[in-house]
Amino acid sequence: MQKKIIALAVAGAIGSIVAGSVFAADAPATVYGRIDYGYQSTSGDSGGLKNQKSTNAFASGIEAGSRIGIKGASDLENGLKAIYEVEFGIYLDQASGPDAASKTGAVTSSGSDAKWTNRHSYIGVTGDFGTAVGGRLDGVRYGIFQAYDPFGAGGMGNFTQVTRQVDRANNAIAYITPNFSGFSGLVAYGTAILGAEAGGAGLGGLNPKTGEAAGNLGDFKLNTIMGKYEQGPLSVTLDWEQVTAGNIGSGAGVAGSLSDKITVTTVGGSYDLGVAKVSALYDQLQDTLDSVGDIQKTVNMLIGVKVPVNAFTFKANYGKSQNKLSGVTDGDTTKFGLGLDYALSKSTNLYADYGSITNGTGAAIAISAAANAYGPTGSYGGGSVGLGGATGIDFGMALKF
């Protein structure tokens, strides 16, 4: 029987492969988590706010988001297991971390009113045939960036934050193949990529064309096909994804004849030399509006290295995001990162990171420690929105349990 199953955690494709013994029938539930707290500081025209030259704050989840989760399994017949996992983001501060905007309402107060946010949650079946799951799933491409970015899920040096990402796919299903001598694959489909279902938004929940309940009409849908080879020191991943918006016609609060399409192709690889692990990634995104044609093309490129020395791990990367829009002379953003981790134990580490962003005259990306913090703070359009650049530092402590 397949000895490893996919847990759909952040690293890897949709998740990382964990030992099947975690899901033993006599231990149906495992509690796990991560606590991360530190200090971060930014300087420069960060965030496009010309009067805000610097920010300083203690924050939760700098190197990677603080979280708590429950996972487990139940033995079925014919060597199958039913699996589940529910993971929530938790915050040690009051909406002041690297992803503070996303925490609006997440933590309203301490005590009985405190709220968690759903990171991912799924239920599924695993066995010799592979693994099939459904629920709110971690983004495949997002996981690939984190696998080949030396900074992984966060820190001021991470490159992923300057790219457009589906960090999690709502209302999604996925199938992961067994491992065939290092080769594995994944297909996934999601129907509510932008959060709450869009069907009938502003239309009283009705299909404007038929008057029937809208259901998934108008939702942004995600299709994903991913292949991976991992054997010894070598890892290579190829991913194709497409996000489409259903045509919901015209109506109150909804743009007419919307049929937007975003197609992304990503290839990444790494090789562990022992003294250092080198990685690289190439990613091309094309955004299309049917009535206009291609309106945006983005090429993301990254090279990185991790060097372990006893309890220390040195990290460095350099990445560039080239945004090609008509009328924009320079919509590019580059980012450089340096970092240092020190392992206090197998589960606890100290970290310190530095990051620097340089924007062209047509770009306005703010620096952030959150890998899912993408968002131009001013529209791509050339001229005055460009930022000369911004830098950030952070340091803190993280513990996994």
Contact 61, 97 (CB under 8 A): yes
Query: How many Cα atoms are found within 13 Å in the side-chain-facing hemisphere of 334?
Result: 9
Q: Which of 102, 159, 167 is nearest to 136 (CA)?
A: 167
pLDDT of residue 337: 97
Residue 202 near residue 253, CB atoms below 8 Å = yes
- Single pTM value for the model: 0.79
User: What is residue 41's predicted lDDT score, i.e. its pLDDT?
Assistant: 92
Length of the chain equals 401
- Which tokens belong to 103? 């925490």
Average confidence (pLDDT) per 10 residues, the chain, 401 residues = 33 35 56 95 61 75 94 91 93 57 42 64 95 95 96 94 88 96 96 57 47 56 96 98 68 43 94 98 85 75 97 97 68 92 98 92 82 58 49 96 95
CATH of the domain at 131: 2.40.160.10
Q: What is the pLDDT of residue 96?
A: 45
Domain that holds residue 37: 4-400
- The count of structural domains within the chain is 1
So what's the pLDDT on residue 363?
77
Write the DSSP assignment of 211-223 as a string of letters.
-SB-TTTT-EEEE
Over 181-218, what HEC string results? CCEEEEEEEEEECCCCCCCCCCCCCECCCCCCECCCCC
Tokens 């924050």 belong to residue: 59
Q: Taking a C-beta distance cutoff of 8 angstroms, is the pair 64, 396 a contact?
A: no
> Tokens in use for 375?
């968002």
Alpha-carbon span 161 to 151, nearest angstrom: 11
Q: Which neighbouring-strand residues pair with 318?
A: 303, 336
Instruction: Round to whole Å and give the CA distance between 265 and 282.
Output: 8
